[in-house]
Amino acid sequence: SILPNSNKLLHAMPKHVFNVAMTCSGCSGAVERVLKKQNATSIDIDMAAQTVTVESAMSKDDLLAVIAKTGKECSYKTTLA
């Protein structure tokens, strides 16, 4: 039988948006690599807007700390619903 609340297990994780100073594909690649090591569900890098959107079970503070390890100037922007 199918449980009525079983779909909650498939609910999307929050998507956090960060401002990250990236000047080249090497910069964005470094950010993507450190986030992949943290098992991020999805990573969307927008070089033009200088933003990184991350879907992950990690908190926004933990994700910001991971991104900061790349040496790039970064800050938390918002969380998407």
Token digits of residue 25: 């594909």
Mean pLDDT of the chain: 89
Cβ neighbours, 10 Å, residue 49: 12
pTM for the whole structure: 0.83
Which H or E element spans position 29?
Answer: helix 25-37
Nearest one of 63, 11, 10 to 35, comparing CA atoms: 63
Q: What is the DSSP letter of 23?
A: -
Question: What pLDDT digit, counting tens, does each position of 56-81 carry?
Answer: 999 999 999 999 999 999 999 999 97
DSSP structure string for 34-58: HHHHTT-SEEEEETTTTEEEEE-SS
**Residue 13 pLDDT:** 85
